[in-house]
Amino acid sequence: MEGGEEQQKDYDNKWSRLLHALGEGGHATLQALHSSRILIVGLKGLGAEIAKNLVLMGVQSLSICDEEDVHIADLSTNFLLTEADVGKKRSDVCIVKLRELNERVKLDVISTVSKETLALFKVVIFTNNKSQAELLEWTDFCHSNHVAYIVADTWGLFAYTFVDLGEAWVVNDKNGESPMKGYIESITQDKEGLVTLWDEKLHNLEDGDVVVLSGVEGMDSLNDKELTIAVKSPFQFSIGDTSALPACTKGGVFVQVKKPITMKFKSLRDMLKEKPRIFSTDDTAVTMDWSKALEADRYHLLVQALLHFRQSHNGSLPQPCNQTHAAEVLATIKTLKSQFAALEEKPASAPETSEPQGENQMEIDIIYGSSGDVAPMTAFMGGLVAQEVIKASTRRYTPIYQWFFFDAPECRPDTRPEPEEFTLTGTRYDGQIAIFGKTLQQKIVSLNTFVVGSGAIGCETLKNLALMGVGTEGKITLTDIDTIEISNLNRQFLFRESDISKGKSQVAAAAVAKMNPHVKIDALMTKVCTETEDVLNDKFWKSLDVVVTALDNVQARQYIDRRCLYFTKPMLDSGTQGTKGNTQVVIPHLTESYSASADPPQKQVAVCLLHQFPNSIEHCLQWARELLFEGYFVKDADIVNNWIDNNSYLQTMAPMTQMTAIRTISKCLGSERPQNLEDCVLWARGIFERHFNHALVRLLDTYPLDHKDTTGAPFWIGGKLPPTPTIFDATKDDHVVWLTAAAYMRAYVFGLVADEFRPTNWTALVEKMKHSLDKYVPVPYSVYSNKITADEGIDVVEKEELLAQLPDRASLGTWRMTPLKFEKDDDRNFHIDLIWTSANIRAEEYKIKTVDRLNAKIIAGNIIPAIVTTTALVTGLVGLELYKTIQKKPFAAFRNTFVNLANSIFQSAEPIAPIKRKFGGEEFSDWDFIDIKRGDMQLGAVIKYLKTKYKENVDAVLYGSILIYTTFMNRQKAQARLLLPLTQAIGDATGKPIPASASSILLDITCTDADDNDLPFTPSVRVFHKMRPSSKKKAASAKAPKAAVEGKQEQEEEEEEEETKEQKV
C-alpha cells in the first residue's frame, strides 16, 4: 500500500470520532480548522478551557496573551496550573502544559494586544475582561478588518458571550447534518405537485429546503433541477405546479441540496446600544434556560455595569456579599437604563447602609458572587466558546447571534449564609467559597463519589471534580475497563500518546493527581455489572454520596440506575453525539429513574432488505459485517469449536439450525478445510462468486426486471432496486483487496498464520495470491436452485451422510479454530478492509452511492461521533447539578438539558417526577420497595407475608432473571422449596449461594387480584435476610417516642404470632 494511503489511515484513525461528528464534508472542515490562527486573551479558567479544546481539535496555531501572575485562587478553575506555579507568569506556565496536549499545534505567547497583532489572526477571543473601553477599541478594528471577534466571561454562576463575525458572514452548512435523501413513490399531476415517499418514510425536510430529483419517469423534466419544497406531511412535500407535465409513471430519488445562508453581525459597540431581542423575528440573544429569557435585557445591562466596575477598580470584581460594591453596580445599571428609551425605567438605587432588596434581587445575587470562579461554569463556557471558534474558522454550523447569557441561580444556597462564611481562606478553593461559603465547601471535599467511565466525558468530569475539591477528604472511586487508543487523544485530554494501550482509569487517576494532589482516587478496571457485585458490593454502594456516569451505552446506564434505585443514591448522567449533548439528574424520590423514560428502540432492518433489497450504504455495510465477517470468521469458528468440545452440542438445536450447523462443521473440517494460504485464496474466490454473482442471478431469476406484484404494480420500484451481478476482475483494486483480506483472515482462523496482522511482505504476498487464482475452478450456477423459496427444508439423507463423514473428535487433539473479534481501530488487521470493499461492491451492484474507508469504519463499527466542545459543556452542566445535589435542593431547582451546538439550540427544563402506582392500597414509585426485615424467612413465609399485608396473590417470585417459585411449578418441588429459608431456596434454584457481602435480597414478583386478573404493577421486594426481627424492633423502639412504641407493640405481637404460624407450615 502506498505511503500516502497509510498516512491517510493514521490521520483518519486519530480524528475518526471528530470526523464523524463533522459529518459530510468533515475532512474539508477539519482542514479549515487545522489552518486557522487563533488568539486567546486571558488565561484564567475560561481561557484555559477554550485553549484546551482548540488545541485538542488541532488548530494550526494558537497564541495566548496574559501578563498576570498565577494566584492561588486561579487553581479553582485553571487545570493547567499547580500550587508550585503560584507567582509565575500565567501565560508562561500554561503554554508548556498546552504543548503536551497536541505537539502538532503551533503555540506562542504575545505580551500585548495591538491592532497590528489582531490583524494576524482569523479569530480572537477576549476573556477575563477588565475594561469595556479596550473591548470597544478592539471590536471596532476587528469588525472593520474581517477578524472574527468573541468576548466571554464567567462571573460566579453567571456567564455571557458575545459573537461578531462581520457584516456578511456566509454559513456554508447551517447544521452539519448529512443531506436528506429518500425514495419517491408518486408525484401528483396538479397545481401542488405532491411528492409522496415510498413506504411512508420520513423526509425530515423544512419549508424552503431545496431538493433535486433523479430517476423520475414520466415527469422526466423534473430530473436534475433544484426545486424548493413546502412540507405537507412527515412523508409528503410539494414541489409546485406539475399539471402541465405528463403523468409520473415511476418515482425516483430526492436529495436535499444544502444552501449557504448569510448573516449580518454588528459590532459590540453597536450591540451595547441595543436592547437584546428574544422571541422576535430577529433575535439577537440566546439563553440556556428559556424560563429566564425575559431577563435578557437585565443581563445585558449587568454585563456593562460589571465591566464598568472592573474598569473603575483596577480590574477587580465586587467582593463577596459586599453591599457597598453591589450598590455601586446597581447605580450604574440605573444610569444605563436611562439610555434605553425603549425600556421601562425602574428605580435601581438603594441606600449603601442597607442591603438592596426586591426587584433587583437577581442582580444582587449575581453581583455578590461575581468574584467567584468555579470549574463547572468555565467548563460549560469553554465548550460553548470553542465551538463558536470552530464555526468562525470553518463557516460550518450556525453561530450564536449575537449574545448568549447563562445564569444558574438554583445552585446558590436557598438561604444566604452569614458574611463570615465568605471570608476567603487563601486556598485553591477560594473561587468556590466566594459563591457558596465555607460550610458547603466542606461538604464538597467530604463527598464519596463513584465515577463510571474515564473516556471523553469521564476525563472532563474528573478534572472538574478535582478542581472543586471532591475526594480530598472523601474519595473518588473510578472504574473503566478500556485501554487508551490513538483515537482517544483528540478529546480525552488526560491521555498522551505514550499512554496508548494502558488502562484508562489508572492513567486518568494519575493525571488528576497532578492537578490536585489532595484528591484521593481508587482507580479500578472493574466492569459495573451483575457479575462484579461481590467487588462493588453492598458496603461499597452504601458508602457513596453520589454516582456520576460517563458511559457510552444505555445498558450500562440502566444497570447503574437499578443499583442507584436499590441503594437510594443520586445519579448524574450525561451523553453526547457529535454537537448534540444532554444531561439528566436522577434524584431519590424527587425525579423519575433513568430507565423510566428510555428512548424508543431503533427500528430493525428487515432481513430481506439486507439480503436482497438494500437501498442504502448502511444496509450494505450491515450485510457485510453480519453475513460475511460475523458469518464466516466468527460464527463458523464458534460452531466448530462448540461441536468439538461438547458431544451433545447438536442435540440442543432446532432441526433447521441443526442442519445448518452440520453443513458448517462438515465444510470446515472436511471439504473446505484449508491446508495452506493458496487454499484460502481459492475459497475466498468461490465465496465472492457465491455472494456477488450467483445470489443476484438467482434473485433476478425469481423476480425479473418486468416482474409485477400481486396488485399488478411494478415489483422493482421505490426502494427496491434491481441489482447487476458482479464478475470478478483481478485488475480492480477493491476486488483484490476483498479477496486477499478474506483469504488471510481465513488463514488465521484456521491457524495457518501466526497472527491476523498485515505482514511486512504484504505487497509480494498479494501478487502471490493473485497468481493462485489460476487454479480456481468456477462453480456453475446450476449448483443452486433456480428460484428463491421460503423454506428449502431438511435433506435427511444429506444429514446422515454429513454426520458420518465428520472426523473423530479425538483426532483433532487441541486444535481449534480462532474466531475473530471485530476491531475497527487496528488497521494492521483486515476487518475494515473486508467490510468496506464488500459494502462498496454490493453498493455498485444496486447503484447505491459508495462510501470511503473512514465512513465505512464509522458506520460498521457503530462509532459514536464525539467532539471535545460538547463533552466539556455537558460535564459543566453535570457539575452544576452536583452543587444542587449536595445541598439537597427541592425538585424545582434541578434541570435536565439538551443542547445542539451546531445550530445554537439550548433547552433546559425541570426533570420529570416519578410516577406513583398503587399496589395493595399503597402507593409506590420506582424508588419504593416492599422491605421485609425479618431475617432469612422461609420462601413460603415471604409469600404469605405479602398476601397478608397487601391482599394480593403472589403467582411468581424471581431472583434476577431466575424463577425461584411459580404456581405452575411441579407441586412436590414447589412444596419443598417453600419450606426452605429464602437463601437456600435461591441457592436451590440458581445453583449459587447468595453473595456473602449482600445485606439484602432483591426479589421481583408477579401477582393477581382476587378475580385472578394480572396486576399491571408490582413493586420489587427487599428481604433483609441478615437482620434479626428482635434487634430491629429494639432499635426501632429506642428511637421512637414512647407513645408510638406502645402503639406498635400490639401490632408487632400479632405479626410475630402470625410469623410463628408461618414458620410451622
Amino acid identity at 976:
A
Strand order in the sheet with 448-452: 521-524, 475-479, 448-452, 546-549, 571-577, 580-586, 896-900, 905-909
Instruction: Estimate to the nearest angstrom the gap between the alpha carbon of 467 and the chain centroid.
Output: 24
Residue 793 — pLDDT band, cuts 50, 70, 90? Answer: low
* Cα gap 630→617, rounded to integer Å: 18
Poorest-confidence range of 264-273, 457-466, 1033-1042?
A: 1033-1042
Instruction: Report which of 132, 105, 99, 137 is spatially closest to residue 118, judged by C-alpha positions.
Output: 137
Query: Average of pLDDT values for 998-1014?
Result: 93
* Cα gap 659→796, rounded to integer Å: 9
pLDDT for the residue 342: 46
Query: Average of pLDDT values for 663-679?
Result: 94
Q: What is the torsional sign of CA 957, 959, 994, 569?
A: negative
948: pLDDT strictly greater than 70: yes
pLDDT for the residue 139: 96
* Cα gap 499→1039, rounded to integer Å: 54
The pTM assigned to this predicted structure is 0.86
Poorest-confidence range of 7-11, 676-680, 805-809?
A: 7-11
Tens digits of per-residue pLDDT, 362-401? 999 999 999 999 999 999 999 999 999 999 999 999 999 9
Query: Average of pLDDT values for 902-929?
Result: 95
* Cα gap 590→913, rounded to integer Å: 6
pLDDT for the residue 123: 97
895: CB partners within 8 A, 6+ apart:
289, 410, 583, 585, 877, 880, 881, 908, 909, 910, 911
Query: Do strands 905-909 and 896-900 pair parallel, antiparallel, or not at all (unpaired)?
Result: antiparallel
Tens digits of per-residue pLDDT, 513-543? 999 999 999 999 999 998 899 999 999 999 9
Instruction: Report which of 791, 794, 752 is spatially closest to residue 769, judged by C-alpha positions.
Output: 752
165: pLDDT strictly greater than 80: yes
Joined grid coordinates for residue 329: 453596580
Query: Average of pLDDT values for 584-598?
Result: 93
pLDDT for the residue 861: 84
Q: Which residues pair with 573 in a beta bridge?
A: 584
Determine contact, residues 840/851, Cβ cutoff 8 Å: yes
Poorest-confidence range of 174-183, 330-339, 357-366, 618-627?
A: 357-366
Query: Average of pLDDT values for 259-269?
Result: 96
SS3 221: helix
Q: What percent of the chain has pLDDT over 90?
A: 75
* Cα gap 376→876, rounded to integer Å: 4
- The full DSSP string for 489-513 is TTT-TT--GGGTTSBHHHHHHHHHH
Instruction: Estimate to the nearest angstrom the gap between the alpha carbon of 809 and the chain centroid.
Output: 47
130: CB partners within 8 A, 6+ apart:
307, 310, 311, 315
Determine contact, residues 906/594, Cβ cutoff 8 Å: no
Amino acid identity at 957:
V
The total of other beta-carbon atoms located within 10 Å of residue 982's CB is 24
1031: pLDDT strictly greater than 60: no
Joined grid coordinates for residue 635: 460464527
Query: Average of pLDDT values for 185-201?
Result: 92
* Count, residues in the chain: 1065
pLDDT for the residue 78: 97
Residues forming the active site: 608
Residue 1029 — pLDDT band, cuts 50, 70, 90? Answer: low
CA distance readout (Å), 433 to 372, 417, 460, 500: 7, 11, 22, 38
96: CB partners within 8 A, 6+ apart:
none
Higher pLDDT, 499 or 11: 499
790: pLDDT strictly greater than 60: no
Residue 349 — pLDDT band, cuts 50, 70, 90? Answer: very low
pLDDT for the residue 605: 67
* Cα gap 830→680, rounded to integer Å: 15
Q: What is the torsional sign of CA 1011, 1014, 1016, 1022?
A: positive
50: CB partners within 8 A, 6+ apart:
40, 125, 127, 152, 382, 385, 386, 389
Instruction: Report which of 833, 398, 826, 920 is spatially closest to residue 625, judged by C-alpha positions.
Output: 833
pLDDT for the residue 1036: 44
* Chain position carrying cell 477571543: 125
The total of other beta-carbon atoms located within 10 Å of residue 608's CB is 9
* Cα gap 183→251, rounded to integer Å: 7
* Cα gap 156→158, rounded to integer Å: 6
Query: Average of pLDDT values for 900-926?
Result: 94
* Cα gap 506→513, rounded to integer Å: 11
* Cα gap 462→478, rounded to integer Å: 9
Instruction: Report which of 298, 328, 331, 335 is spatially closest to residue 313, judged by C-alpha positions.
Output: 328
What is the pLDDT of the chain when averaged over all its residues? 89
513: CB partners within 8 A, 6+ apart:
519, 521
* Chain position carrying cell 501565560: 91
543: CB partners within 8 A, 6+ apart:
448
φ and ψ of 66, to 5 deg: -165, 110
pLDDT for the residue 627: 94
Joined grid coordinates for residue 351: 441606600
Query: Average of pLDDT values for 892-896?
Result: 96
CA distance readout (Å), 816 to 157, 171, 632, 745, 750: 62, 58, 15, 15, 8
876: pLDDT strictly greater than 70: yes
102: CB partners within 8 A, 6+ apart:
55, 56, 58, 489, 490
First to last CA, the chain: 78
Higher pLDDT, 198 or 723: 723
- The full DSSP string for 160-173 is EEEEE--TTEEESB
* Cα gap 588→594, rounded to integer Å: 11
* Cα gap 108→516, rounded to integer Å: 26
Peptide bond just before 402 cis, omega within 30 deg: yes
* Cα gap 267→161, rounded to integer Å: 13
Residue 566 — pLDDT band, cuts 50, 70, 90? Answer: very high
Residue 299 — pLDDT band, cuts 50, 70, 90? Answer: very high
> What's the angle, vertex CA 419, arms to CA 418 and CA 424, rounded to 5?
125
Determine contact, residues 329/363, Cβ cutoff 8 Å: yes
CA distance readout (Å), 999 to 36, 407, 538, 842, 1004: 59, 43, 6, 57, 17
Higher pLDDT, 793 or 575: 575
To the nearest 10 degrees (0 to 180), the angle between helices 296-312 and 132-144 is 110
Q: Which residues pair with 956 in a beta bridge?
A: 966, 1006
Tens digits of per-residue pLDDT, 748-761? 999 999 999 999 99
Please report, to the nearest 10 degrees, the dihedral formed by the alpha carbons of residues 64, 66, 72, 78 taken in order: -20
pLDDT for the residue 6: 67
Determine contact, residues 737/630, Cβ cutoff 8 Å: no
φ and ψ of 154, to 5 deg: -120, 125
Tens digits of per-residue pLDDT, 1034-1062? 444 444 444 443 334 444 444 444 443 44
pLDDT for the residue 4: 62
pLDDT for the residue 964: 95
- The full DSSP string for 982-1026 is HHHHHHHHHSSPPPTT-SSEEEEEEEE-TT-PBPS----EEE-TT
